[in-house]
Amino acid sequence: MGLIHDLGAGALRHLPAETAHSLSLSLLEAGFGPKQRVPSGLETTLAGLALPNPLGLAAGYDKNAAAPDALLRMGLGFVEVGTITPLPQAGNAKPRLFRLKADGAVINRMGVNNEGLAAGIARLAARAGRPGVVGVNVGANKDSADRAGDYVAGLTAAWPHASYITANISSPNTPGLRGLQEGGALEELLGRLAKARTAATADHGAKPLFLKIAPDLDEEAIGGIVEACVTHGLTGLIVSNTTVARPESLTAPHRAEPGGLSGAPLFEPSTKALRTAAIAAKGRLVLIGAGGVASGAAALAKLKAGASAVQLYSALALQGPGLAPRVLKELKAALATEGFTSVAAAVGADLR
């Protein structure tokens, strides 16, 4: 069956990128996804959540919580759905998703297209009682007059149904959104989220709350975000979202398309930003490393730079459903080679 699924993934890669994305998700939702066997011995924790392994799926693939259980069966240790906004929105004009095959990369300017909170939360509520860590990534509508209020609405609605919540303030495809990473706007947002979290915790229990940031921030900006998160009691950061930078190394025809760049070229800048956040946090925040993870070596590098868990997405789209078992097998071997007796033992090793 693994060969069949890989052949199917190969066929999808001949379709236009967004068509392949939508069809693959529909197939998973209909029950046609693989059930992958992955190595044991990679169990770990993320902000108190027990994970079978540290490899997760980043937000952006399953925007509407259509198939989190099918994705977990692919061998992933956790899945993050979304970004979900309070109201449905169509996103940007097509085409808006581009494969850069020669560069192992993807550019997207989707514009946070999703069916809105009502649809996403209904699906999450329907999976109540099922195992697996499923986080919910929430955001703001493009035309919202109160973007901080949108995050509060998302947190409040998703809290009872999520393993953790992520506030996505770093998508480059919603005009002005990244401004929420700065100064007074950040303080207002985190203050309102903290108040909403207190209320949600009283009603439904404590859960981790993460903030997802951009890789295009300098050391001072990352340090400021870290201190603000600590002050307002957030659990941690996801480092990072896609980048608006365009490295000179890119060669694929679509390399100049506007939008967020992900995949292999994002690995170095996102890992640098992760390390900067880890140094600034000094153990006060839990970090998730995302960006360019396509191998066990890349996953281990994120762990050693301070991440407690890692996320992938673009590599899965480019390489198919057999990726997670391959990465985890490589990670287990790499941990043993470097003398780490567990995933947790590797976390922050480069900083010690």
The b-or-e profile of 267-282 (16+ CB within 10 A means b, else e) is bebbbbbbbbbbbbbe
User: In what order do the strands lie in the sheet containing 97-100?
Assistant: 97-100, 105-108, 260-263
CA dist., res. 339 & res. 344, Å (int): 12
Burial of 241 from C-beta contacts in 10 A (0-12 / 13-18 / 19+):
buried
Q: Is residue 241 classed as helix, strand or coil in its secondary structure?
A: coil
CA nearest to 158, candidates 188, 202, 192, 123: 123
Antiparallel, parallel or unpaired: β 97-100 and 164-168: unpaired
Cα 128 vs. chain centroid, distance in angstroms? 22
Half-sphere exposure of 58 (CA within 13 A, CB side): 29
Residue 262 among the catalytic residues: no
Q: Is residue 210 classed as helix, strand or coil in its secondary structure?
A: strand
Check if the beta carbon of residue 294 is closer than 8 Å to that of residue 104.
yes
What single-letter DSSP state applies at residue 261?
E
Determine which one of 24, 171, 270, 314 is catalytic: 171
The number of residues making up the chain comes to 352
Question: Residue 121 contacts by C-beta under 8 Å, 6 or more apart in sequence?
Answer: 65, 84, 157, 158, 161
Check if the beta carbon of residue 36 is closer than 8 Å to that of residue 326.
no
CA nearest to 316, candidates 7, 104, 30, 172: 104
Check if the beta carbon of residue 281 is closer than 8 Å to that of residue 230.
yes
The catalytic residue positions are 171
